[in-house]
């Protein structure tokens, strides 16, 4: 077991049998397994007391192999954006990770395929019903933004992210932190200059951290 997986196992939430039972059902889901190149392995984490919800796209191959959400280079960048160490990020009592597709969808010509369309309609609403404490939802990528913002999103991902203040305080749209998006970050320096400080302050407040403590996590 990896260090991150061990942390996640120790942090397993307690006290909500209904959510635990739902997570067991989701992790046993094989609805679209015939279409998946590596088979089904739903990856998510949730706890009823969590105040931060992260909605991403779908697990990559490395996450499929480990079973740990964001256990890859994209996750390292995301945790840096948030100013959170792995022990906090992978604690389902604090952070919910609910991708648009729960299983690795396979590779296409330009990278991983889009998340499977079966997961969100079937499972999102039941999970969200168990998350009364969520105060901030991060919408990573256009699939999450389309699902949660609907007609309120802008014509492009870049425009939606640039208008992040329009969706406060409930939502904060983000680009995917994949290394493949390095050119996007270079073309849009306002993201690091303007949005990331807001994101880090919001997350720091959720977890009761001071600005100094937030800075030390980066």
Angle between helices 73-82 and 196-206 (to 10 degrees): 80
Give tens-digit pLDDT for 172-195: 999 999 999 999 999 999 999 999
Q: What is the pLDDT, as a whole number, of residue 213?
A: 43
- pLDDT bracket for residue 209 (50, 70, 90): low
Over residues 18-41, mean pLDDT? 97
Give tens-digit pLDDT for 46-58: 999 999 999 999 9
Over residues 158-176, mean pLDDT? 98
> How far separated are the first and last CA of the chain, in Å rounded?
26
Q: What is the pLDDT, as a whole number, of residue 13?
A: 45
The whole-angstrom separation of Cα 110 and Cα 92 is 32
State the pTM of this model.
Answer: 0.89
The whole-angstrom separation of Cα 64 and Cα 54 is 18
Q: What is the pLDDT, as a whole number, of residue 216?
A: 40
- Which of the residue ranges 32-36, 44-48, 96-100, 209-213 would you say has the lowest mean pLDDT? 209-213
User: Domains of the chain, with CATH numbers?
Assistant: 3-216 (3.40.470.10)
The whole-angstrom separation of Cα 163 and Cα 200 is 17
Q: What is the pLDDT, as a whole number, of residue 10?
A: 45
Give tens-digit pLDDT for 140-149: 999 999 999 9
Is pLDDT larger for residue 110 or for residue 98? 98
Q: Which of 199, 190, 114 is nearest to 158 (CA)?
A: 190
Q: Which of 96, 120, 117 is nearest to 105 (CA)?
A: 117
Inform me whether the pLDDT recorded for 6 exceeds 70. no
Over residues 62-84, mean pLDDT? 98
- For 16, what's the count of Cα atoms within 13 Å in the CB-facing half-sphere? 19
Q: Which of 109, 17, 116 is nearest to 64 (CA)?
A: 116
- Cα dist from 92 to 45, 89, 163, 205, whole Å: 6, 8, 29, 18
**What does pLDDT average to over the chain?**
91
Percent of the chain, pLDDT > 90?
86
**DSSP H helices in 13-156:** 17-27, 61-66, 73-82, 86-89, 119, 125-128, 142-149
- Cα dist from 10 to 17, 88, 204, 208, whole Å: 17, 12, 23, 22
Q: What is the pLDDT, as a whole number, of residue 111?
A: 87
Inform me whether the pLDDT recorded for 128 exceeds 60. yes
Over residues 24-48, mean pLDDT? 97
Over residues 22-29, mean pLDDT? 98
- pLDDT bracket for residue 200 (50, 70, 90): very high
- For 85, what's the count of Cα atoms within 13 Å in the CB-facing half-sphere? 9
């Amino acid at each position: 077991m990896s260090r991150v997986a061990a942390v996640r196992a120790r942090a397993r939430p307690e006290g909500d049998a209904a959510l635990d039972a739902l997570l067991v059902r989701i992790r046993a889901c094989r609805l679209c397994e015939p279409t998946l190149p590596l088979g089904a392995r739903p990856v998510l984490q949730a706890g009823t007391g969590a105040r931060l919800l992260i909605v991403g796209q779908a697990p990559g191959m490395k996450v499929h192999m480990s079973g740990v959400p964001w256990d890859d280079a994209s996750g390292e960048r995301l945790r840096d954006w948030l100013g959170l160490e792995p022990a906090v990020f992978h604690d389902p009592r604090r952070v919910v990770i609910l991708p648009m597709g729960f299983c690795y969808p396979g590779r296409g010509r330009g990278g991983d395929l889009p998340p499977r369309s079966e997961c969100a309609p079937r499972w999102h609403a039941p999970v969200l019903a168990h998350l009364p404490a969520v105060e901030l939802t991060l919408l990573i990528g256009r699939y999450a933004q389309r699902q949660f913002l609907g007609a309120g999103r802008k014509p492009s991902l870049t425009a939606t992210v640039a208008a992040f203040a329009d969706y406060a305080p409930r939502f904060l749209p983000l680009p995917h932190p994949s290394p493949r998006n390095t050119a996007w970050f270079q073309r849009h320096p306002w993201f690091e200059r303007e949005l990331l400080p807001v994101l880090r302050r919001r997350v720091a407040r959720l977890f009761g951290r001071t600005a100094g403590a937030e800075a030390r996590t980066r």
